[in-house]
Amino acid sequence: MMRRGFLLTMTEPPAAMEEEFNAWYDTEHFPERLAILGFRSARRWVAAGAPGEGKYLATYELDSPAVLQSPEYLARYAGATPWTRRCLGRCVLFKRWACEQVQPGNGDAHPLAKALLLLTGEQGIDVPSIAAALQVRRFVASAGEPRHIALIELGSASPRLPAAQPGALMRVYRDYAA
């Protein structure tokens, strides 16, 4: 059984460029990516936090990890538009993870998720129990560090959270469109 693929990006534009960055993401980048065969869906998320921590998160659901090696994707990736080069080139933070979903197999993103709790770390990420959790999904990255990611999809945009685990990133991102 081929597992689902997943692409995760964490970005943060300079404050002075934020409006242009969001316009680019919503009007050029997402439509361009969703036109590629094998991209099932894409969604944006935003977090409150200190500058430079990664304000935006984008999640891309893929038919399989192989989508990111397809000629169509590689051509788009290598042939970035001038607007793409401008927006990404000026980001104060850009991280990208190409992943395989390992739990729950081929499970889709929960349609009622209002927020995500992003956890990254070593193989044995301890996923806390959270009352607002709709679903937990785990991923292993073939590109990007750290290699182990857990996303807890939440039914509330402001859940009660346990303390962060030492050595792990733990951040809540709320639905950008909400």
H or E segment and range at residue 78: helix 71-78
The backbone torsions φ and ψ at residue 149, rounded to the nearest 5 degrees and listed phi first, read: -135, 140
Mean pLDDT, residues 60-86 taken together: 96
The DSSP code for 50 is S
User: What token pair was written down for 8?
Assistant: 């995760």
* pLDDT tens track for 83-135: 999 999 999 999 999 999 999 878 889 999 999 989 888 776 677 678 778 99
Q: What pLDDT digit, counting tens, does each position of 10-48 carry?
A: 999 999 999 999 999 999 999 999 999 999 999 999 998
CB-based contact 115:157 (threshold 8 Å) = yes
